[in-house]
Structure 1
Amino acid sequence: MSHSLLPFVLFALVASISPGPTNLLILAHGARHGLQASVAPILAACVAAAAIVLLVGLGLAEVLLRHPLAQQLMSWGGVLWLSWLAWQLLRAAGAPLHGEGEQRFGAFSAASLQLINPKVWMMAVAVIGVFATPGLPVWQLALVFLVVALPCMTGWALLGVGSARWLQSPQRVRRFNQLLAGLLLVSAWSAVLA
């Protein structure tokens, strides 16, 4: 591994493993539906985030910088959508983990979330601004980010799967959903208000 790649790998690790909207939703999905059902949203979210790194590196960042209103609309749209997801978690606070007809966090939702997730866009701009060099091209940054993000997000799903054993009582499920909803709100709003 080159010396210029190691700092980026560490950055990608921190960005991927730290709590954020997608990781929290994958945690909840893992607890409710298990690891196998979480594979598709994990892949979709990680590929979408890597694609955003690639697109930002290929010039999308410059377009967004020239249109601050577009940036603001994306950020506020993302925060509002994430707030709605937090509300859904609160509404389901007392529901059993494995309810009938429950809507899952699918691959399309996971990928779409990356498009409006302020954390992903700030991370992508930081990646390109700090790490993109002639010796470390944008496509390589996106690929390394994908490789680092996949096991990190899988770890969040496994944490959810492990917590499902603890969440056998309605009171624990309620507290778990309330905690995740609160963390989701904090992560979404802190990204926009920072």
Structure 2
Amino acid sequence: MSSWLPFTLFAFVASITPGPTNLLILAQSSRRGWQHALPAVFGASLAAAMIVLVVGGGLAQPLLAYPLIRHVMAMAGVAWLSWLAWTLYRSPPPTLESEASGQVSHFGTLQAAGLQLVNPKTWMMAFSVVGVFTDGTTNTTHIAVLALIFGGIAVPCLACWALMGSGVGRLFRTSHQWQWFNRGLAFLLLGVAWWSVLIPG
């Protein structure tokens, strides 16, 4: 690769644009503050970097050779994201009682990392990295550097969504406002989840 700039720009766009992870971090920080969303930020970034590393290390070949595997993975991811959208749609406004009783799903390090395993956006991003930015090489060091750069760029990008969510949490004051916010976010999450299945890239 003659320059790292194109890859850096790709990683920034892939990380900052709306996706399931971004929206769930936004929802988490709007309820509990941006500090409580940081574990999800780091968990998602690390998992995405690991997927780039694994795909670049050889997993791309069998997945590309057997489209059914990719289809099953995509449908499993969409099904889980649809369930998360439904729970977000039904979630009550953030109160001490609802947080303490567990009515609101927690989106932490493990949940964010696990989401990347079934997140169609993350896998499409990883295949793009391998297909466009490796020039067909399987050099472990080269792929590891790409994964490290991607993970490093993802952290501040996802943190921006956490800060936005924190601002939303200070803006909304009534139950009606929170209801519309939760439902709007749920529909957005549902839309980005099904986008990759209904409109393949």
2:169 aligned with 1:167: no
- Distance between the aligned counterparts of 1:5 and 1:179, measured in 2? 37
Any stretches of 5+ residues in structure 2 without a counterpart? none
Partner of 1:44 in structure 2? 43
**Whole-angstrom CA distance in 1 between matches of 2:152 and 2:110:** 20
Secondary structure (helix, strand or coil) at the match of 2:106 reads coil
Q: Matched residues in 2 for 1:185 and 1:44: separation?
A: 22
Letter in 1 for 2:111: S
Q: Which residue of 2 aligns with 1:119?
A: 121
Spell out the pairing of 1:99-110 with structure 2 (5 A cutoff): 99=98, 100-102=100-102, 103-110=105-112
List aligned pairs for 1:4-43, cutoff 5 A.
4-43=3-42
1:28-177 equivalences under 5 Å are 28-92=27-91, 95-98=92-95, 99=98, 100-102=100-102, 103-133=105-135, 137-177=142-182
Which 10-residue stretch deviates more, 101-110 or 80-89?
101-110
Output one character per residue of 1:34-87: Cα deviation in whole Å (capped at 9) or x when no partner: 122111111111000010011110011111112221111100000000000000
Distance (Å, rounded) in 1 between the aligned partners of 2:154 and 2:197:
22
Distance 1:101 1:112 in 2: 24
Which piece of structure 1 moves more, 60-69 or 44-53?
A: 60-69
Q: Measure the CA separation in 2 of the matches of 1:182 and 1:41.
A: 21
Question: Which whole-Å CA distance do the structure 2 matches of 1:132 and 1:168 have between them?
Answer: 49
Q: CA deviation at 1:16?
A: 0.1
TM-score by length of 1: 0.94
The code of the aligned residue for 1:172 comes to Q
Q: TM-score, normalised by structure 2?
A: 0.91
SS of equivalent to 1:163: helix
- Alignment length (residue pairs): 191
Does 2:174 align with 1:184? no
Letter in 2 for 1:164: G
Structure 2: distance between partners of 1:176 and 1:116: 25
% identical equivalent positions: 50
After TM superposition, give the deviation of residue 182 of structure 1 in Å: 0.7
Letter in 1 for 2:180: R
Please, what is the CA RMSD of the aligned residues? 1.5
Q: Distance in 2 between matches of 1:46 and 1:101?
A: 29
> What's the CA shift for 1:3?
5.0
Query: Aligned to 1:137, what secondary structure does the other structure show?
Result: helix
